[in-house]
Amino acid sequence: MKIFAQRLRELRNSRRVYQKEMAEYLGISVRGYQCYEAGQNYPDVKGLIALADYFGVTLDYLVGRSDSRT
């Protein structure tokens, strides 16, 4: 799921949001969030939905099943 990590980083950077802010939004540690962007760990379903809602993209886009954001 390397695509997930890449897309998550790109989406965060496009919004100019810090990793710390994302971690707080998701209710996890900064290190936990960093593991998402490094492709070392992945959020649960609730976390995936929260990320998709935050960035206004589909779950399929976020996890690399589609190249369409909407």
Tens digits of per-residue pLDDT, 13-53?
999 999 999 999 999 999 999 999 999 999 999 999 999 99
pLDDT higher than 90, residue 68 = no
pLDDT band at 1 (very low <50, low <70, confident <90, very high): low
Rounded to whole angstroms, the Cα distance separating 28 from 1 reads: 20
Rounded to whole angstroms, the Cα distance separating 64 from 70 reads: 13
In this prediction, residue 61 carries a pLDDT of 96
**Sign of the Cα pseudo-torsion (63, 7, 50, 23, in order):** positive
Residue 19's CB is within 10 A of a number of other CB atoms, namely 15
Q: Domain residue spans in the chain?
A: 2-63
The CATH number, out of the four listed (1.10.260.40, 3.40.50.150, 3.60.140.10, 1.20.950.20), of the domain defined by the range 2-63: 1.10.260.40
Contact 44, 56 (CB under 8 A): no
Contact 22, 28 (CB under 8 A): no
